[in-house]
Amino acid sequence: MFLGKVIGKIWSTIKNPGLETQRLLLVQPISASGDKTGKVLICTDSTGAGAGETVYWVRGREASFPFSGREVPSDATIVGIVDEVNIGKRKTGGS
C-alpha cells in the first residue's frame, strides 16, 4: 500500500455500471514525511475518507476485494485512514 492525501474528486455521469454508487477521489501520493511523490490518481473508497485526509490505498486486483460480491472495475482503492506514521522514534500526525 502507499500513503496519499485526498485532494479532490471526479464527477462523472457516463461510467461503467460497476462504478455506480462509487465515490471517485483524487489522491496525491505522499512520502512518510508528507512530501508529494508521483502522479495523482483516482481511487474508489472503502473508508469514508474526505478531502485533506491522509490515507493509504491498495492497487491492482486487490483494489476490488473491499467490494466482494461485486465486480468493481477499480485498480486503486482507499483501504484505511492514517492516525499516525511512526518512523524510528519520530511521529508524524495523520492529517
* Footprint on this chain of a copy of itself (rule: CB under 8 A): 1-3, 7-16, 18-19, 24, 26, 29, 31-32, 37-43, 46-48, 51, 56, 58-66, 68, 71-77, 79-88, 94
Shortest distance, position 59 Cβ to a copy of itself, whole Å: 5
Contact between residue 55 and residue 82 where contact means Cβ atoms under 8 Å apart? yes
Cell 508521483, residue located: 38
Shortest distance, position 50 Cβ to a copy of itself, whole Å: 11
Cα–Cα distance, 64 to 72 (Å, whole number):
6
Shortest distance, position 21 Cβ to a copy of itself, whole Å: 13
Cell 519520530, residue located: 90
